Amino acid sequence: MPNAALSNLAAIDAAHHLHPFSDMGKLNASGTKVISRAEGVHIFDSNGKQYLDAFAGLWCVNVGYGRKSIADAAYAQMQELPYYNLFFGTTTPPSTLLAQKIASKTGPSLNHVFFTNSGSEASDTWFRMARVYWKALGKEEKTIVIARKNGYHGSTVAGASLGGMKWMHEQGNLPIPGVVHINQPYWYAEGGDLSPEDYGIKIARELEDKILELGEDKVAAFVAEPIQGAGGVIVPPSTYWPEIKRICDKYEILLVSDEVICGFGRLGSWFGHQHYGFDPDLAPIAKGLSSGYLPIGGVLVSDRVAKVMKEEVGDFYHGYTYSGHPVCAAAALENIRIIEEEGLVERVRDDIGPYLHTALQSLAGHECVGEAVSVGLMGAVQLTADKATRRRYAKPDDIGTLVRNHCVENGVILRATGDRMLFSPPLIISRSEVDQAVETLGRALDWLRDNHREG
Ligand SMILES: *Cc1c(COP(=O)(O)O)cnc(C)c1O
């Protein structure tokens, strides 16, 4: 589109367009930024300004922008068969082949896929499936799902209920009945004097306490992200996941691993459950499945659950018009082919992930930094007003936004969740681009130190 047409867009946007997760009054006053083009790890706004996108859109553009082969695969599929449904005993070649391809990458017992159009729909899907599973086994009372404070599982009614964000619950009278929350393993902010390892065990045992309080015969599932994403890249202590796994096994609770961010290479493994060495019963996916080129998500379903769905449930009255949409599935297949061909999972694990880790550690000594953590290409820098006591700034959200804006003005897109600065770049990012992103954050931290002293 010519620049003249683009320059009008902000005004049109203010007049007609309501944005997700936005304060529309403020946004209309400040004006939206129009992103009109992208290539590799870079995006360009309508003024032609280039940014390094160290956040891969919204954690999703794993193979980077401008992949012609994905566009070609979608175009070819659209000409061959633009749409057909999966409801009445039919399938399409790309949706079936995609299910097979995904199953070949997961942990050993996740061999089935139920397709959705997004991560949120995947949350709604497994939520119903978990209850249907227990009902089919004659355990109708097993309906409660235990989730975590500050977790994120999407924006639909079930997704936002499962998520642990209070400010989301306050809009729309959530959570729905049957969803309860326990604490997150956020050692830096909530660990007090405990070592991270002891804290990991303590927080995991909250799951056991909650199961005992509710009654094992009432609890259907526990859901968590392997590493909490939108909540601030909360990397759990090493003791956390083994203890969670032990508890779910002991009480026969379905373990749901929300892989929407951690899947498809982000952690240097195909899926987050592989990185942490556990085998979930259900696992929602989306984002990196198509690298965001087209909307598609799904739920990975274990043999244990699939067997009951096949042998006991009969009709599962659930699905979406566009479940397994052939064009989206064709794009996802090509996306996965690229990840395989270019060895991006191994690259993250052995090369660029460790490189980002080292680069972030160079900021760990900064007086405004509490901790710098990363696994693969998912990282966070925690801001602090006092390094020694791990004290937070009085207004953490405002401080995080200031630092983020400083980075954006200097050409690097990061995200702030509260006072944590988040990295989630495309898996193709080069070493010099990692340096650029981390150095830009470093300069923003110097600016913060020089301009925002607190006590
Ligand atoms: C983004 C996200 C979702 C929701 O996915 P949408 O495609 O935005 O609906 C669910 N879970 C996690 C962990 C996510 O990061």
| 334 and 375 inside one domain | no
Q: Would you place residue 107 in the very low, low, confident or very high pLDDT band (cuts 50, 70, 90)?
A: confident
What pLDDT, on a 0 to 100 scale, did the predictor assign at position 207?
Answer: 98
Pocket test for ligand 1, best of 62, 120, 165 (most atoms within 8 A of CB): 120
CATH number at residue 75: 3.40.640.10
What pLDDT, on a 0 to 100 scale, did the predictor assign at position 277?
Answer: 97
Pocket test for ligand 1, best of 117, 233, 261, 267 (most atoms within 8 A of CB): 261
Flag whether 20 is in a domain.
no
Q: What distance in angstroms lies between residue 193's CA and the mean position of ligand 1's atoms?
A: 33
pLDDT in tens, 194-250: 999 999 999 999 999 999 999 999 999 999 999 999 999 999 999 999 999 999 999
What pLDDT, on a 0 to 100 scale, did the predictor assign at position 17?
Answer: 95
pLDDT in tens, 376-392: 999 999 999 999 999 99
Task: List the end-to-end C-alpha distance of the chain, in Å, as a whole number.
Answer: 50
| 201 and 168 inside one domain | yes
Domain boundary among 283, 308, 341: 341
Q: Would you place residue 256 in the very low, low, confident or very high pLDDT band (cuts 50, 70, 90)?
A: very high
DSSP 81-134: -S---SSSS---HHHHHHHHHHHTTS-TTEEEEEEESSHHHHHHHHHHHHHHHH
Above 90 in pLDDT, residue 118? yes
What pLDDT, on a 0 to 100 scale, did the predictor assign at position 144?
Answer: 98
What pLDDT, on a 0 to 100 scale, did the predictor assign at position 127?
Answer: 98
225 lines ligand 1 (CB under 6 A): yes
119 lines ligand 1 (CB under 6 A): yes
Above 60 in pLDDT, residue 455? no
Question: β-strand 179-182 against 144-148: which pairing, if any?
Answer: parallel
pLDDT in tens, 155-190: 999 999 999 999 999 999 999 999 999 999 999 999
| 176 and 303 inside one domain | yes
* Residue type for position 359: A
| 278 and 389 inside one domain | no
CATH number at residue 384: 3.90.1150.10
Flag whether 204 is in a domain.
yes
| 119 and 78 inside one domain | yes
Find the domain containing 305 and state its range. 70-341
| 324 and 409 inside one domain | no
Give the integer Cα–Cα distance in Å for 152 and 170: 15
On the question of a cis peptide bond just before residue 175, with omega within 30 degrees of 0, the verdict is yes
DSSP 173-191: T-SPTTEEEE----HHHH-
pTM of the predicted model over 0.85: yes
Q: What distance in angstroms lies between residue 1's CA and the mean position of ligand 1's atoms?
A: 30
Tell me the average pLDDT of the chain. 96
What pLDDT, on a 0 to 100 scale, did the predictor assign at position 445?
Answer: 98
At which residue do the structure tokens 């203890």 appear?
243
What pLDDT, on a 0 to 100 scale, did the predictor assign at position 1?
Answer: 57
Looking at the structure of the chain, the number of domains it has is 2
Q: What distance in angstroms lies between residue 13's CA and the mean position of ligand 1's atoms?
A: 25
| 373 and 433 inside one domain | yes
Above 70 in pLDDT, residue 4? no
What pLDDT, on a 0 to 100 scale, did the predictor assign at position 8?
Answer: 86
What pLDDT, on a 0 to 100 scale, did the predictor assign at position 10?
Answer: 86
Question: β-strand 420-423 against 415-417: which pairing, if any?
Answer: antiparallel
Q: Which of 71, 77, 122 is nearest to 95 (CA)?
A: 77
360 lines ligand 1 (CB under 6 A): no
The HSE-up count of residue 258 (CA atoms within 13 Å, CB side) is: 28
What pLDDT, on a 0 to 100 scale, did the predictor assign at position 3?
Answer: 58
Q: What distance in angstroms lies between residue 261's CA and the mean position of ligand 1's atoms?
A: 7
Q: What percent of the chain has pLDDT over 70?
A: 98
What pLDDT, on a 0 to 100 scale, did the predictor assign at position 2?
Answer: 57
Strand order in the sheet with 420-423: 369-375, 378-383, 420-423, 415-417
154 lines ligand 1 (CB under 6 A): yes
Above 80 in pLDDT, residue 35? yes
